[in-house]
Amino acid sequence: MRIEDVVSHAKVPVPPSREECHTLILVLEGFYELKIGTQEYRVKEGEIIIQQAGSIFSIDRINRQTKGFTCHFHSDMLVGKLSTSAILADFEFLNVWANSLVQFDEDRLPFIINIFRRLHVEYNYNQKPDFHSIYAYLLALQKVCESYSYGV
């Protein structure tokens, strides 16, 4: 999904909540503020916030001019019919314990944006999303994320 599609009808504040799914948010313009656990984050242009499944989050206000992408998926989708839960070890970026904010340099940002655009198309324009493609896109995102430092 595009952030601008979500924030246009979002109701705030979002009280402390827990999701069963993982959420990745890439900000391309503006900023996105949320709290995960007790840590407050302000995600700026070119950054991704990783909200792990089961984490408690809240949102006090929304910048309605923010643009970017959000990807929401359950761990079971990564496992699929052909694998076991051991495959989740491939997705180390979902196990961010100390900090959920990933900062990228300008050289790799176009690759990240391309992956999120492909995920957006797969989810929104195909009547039956190809979960093998989604898995591949998420794995590619993992490979790019693992080479970057996590911000504060």
Q: Which domains does the chain have, with CATH numbers?
A: 3-145 (2.60.120.280)
| pLDDT under 70: residue ranges of the chain | 78-99, 146-152
The one-character DSSP state at 23 is E
Distance of CA 132 to CAs 17, 19, 39, 78, 83, Å?
A: 30, 23, 34, 9, 11
8 A C-beta contact, residue 56 and residue 17: yes
% of the chain with per-residue pLDDT over 90: 41
Q: Is the peptide bond before 13 cis (omega within 30 degrees of 0)?
A: yes
The answer to whether residues 47 and 27 touch, using CB atoms and an 8 Å cutoff, is: yes
